[in-house]
Copies of this chain bind each other. A is one copy, B any other.
Amino acid sequence: MAGRVLGNYGSFSKATQQKVQAAARAVHYSPNTIAKALKTRLTKTAGVLISDITASFWTTVVRGIQDRAARDGYSIIVCNSDEDANAETASLMALVERAIDGLIICPTLGNHSFLKKISRGGTPLVLIDRKLAGVKAPSIRVDNRVGAKEAVSHLLSLGHRRIAIIKGIDGVETSDERYHGYEEALAERRITPQPVLVREGHFSRNRAFEATRELLQLRVRPSAIFVCNEIMASGCMLALKEAGVRVPQDLSLIIFDDPVWAAWASPSVTGISQPSYTMGILAFDYLFSQISKARTSAPRADDVVLKTSLVLRNSCRKIRE
């Protein structure tokens, strides 16, 4: 009986309702989600698997997910893969054991057999930041190619022709797409990318630091650098600072991402802003609608690609070459 009023189902009289509620308050009743889950097979908990919560892009995404999840009565377990496929699988196993109702994941490179098994097993899945071939799940992404192209086109319009790029991890969609954007922008001006100006940064601060140093040692230095994410931007800027290179007088800089510090850095840095918080919100919305199978009237698109925006600041300068 008490179960009915507390669970708010079935039928009961106003009188018993009040009695039960009074008693519940008296005992400080709090429902046990575990027992509930045993019955309903819903834990009201979702898993989130990203590369590293320490990156401010991901921090913001996670905050978006958490906020929306809290609204819907869901809790979130966040795991970090550090771009390592083994770590990914380990986290996935922990998540599955906890019987999460759904999963939001940014897949690493590598074999995703376990992930695919989970997906086939019926666990609702949402991909974030990257797609994954062979898995039928909605994805929330950003148009990396167009964003990168906009960044490089901006440099070109300022007169730059020797534009270097510090890429992420080859094979990772976001990295490859940003490189394609770079290529496309150059192609429009009939410029072919010079291998010596194309550097690997592995989404790592140290690698980007090294890459920047190498670029500065070139006989003919680039007049501008496009850095493919915020983490690498920090390494790059450190190297520039160390070498005494003035931005933008000696060299122009544009980055993919728009971290908080971009605004008050000296000079403030121009970048491509991603709607990270919104991505988190959307990701959970998609997950939730899958979980509750309450398909909204209009069938929603399976691949949500959001727009980035160019935030103009003071790290790029007009040149004549």
Contact = CB atoms under 8 A, between A and B. Distances in A.
Contacts of A306: none
Contacts of A93: 30
A67 B99 CA distance: 21
Interface stretch (A18-26, A71-79, A135-143, A154-162): A71-79
A32 B264 contact: no
A76 B75 contact: no
Contact of A99 (B32, B77, B99, B265): B32
Contact of A66 (B53, B98, B234): B53
Interface in A240-265: 241, 259-261, 263-265
A75 B77 CA distance: 7
A80 interface: yes
Contacts of A234: 260-261, 263-264
A34 interface: yes
Contact of A79 (B66, B91, B94): B66
A132 to B, nearest CB: 20
A97 B80 CA distance: 25
Nearest to A97: B33
Nearest to A263: B238
Contact of A59 (B45, B54, B95): B54
What copy number does this chain have within its complex? 2
A43 interface: yes
Interface string A255-281: 000011101111110000000000000
Contact of A98 (B33, B60, B79, B237): B33
B30 A97 contact: yes
B54 A63 contact: yes
Contact of A80 (B35, B63, B261): B63
A40 to B, nearest CB: 10
A189 interface: no
Contacts of A70: 79, 90-91, 94
Contacts of A78: 66, 76, 78
Contacts of A91: 70
A28 interface: yes
Contacts of A117: 28
B265 A45 contact: no
A56 interface: yes
Contact of A37 (B34, B66, B260, B267): B34
Interface string A97-116: 11100000000000000000
A14 to B, nearest CB: 26
8 contacts: A30-B97, A32-B38, A33-B97, A33-B98, A34-B37, A34-B98, A54-B59, A259-B261
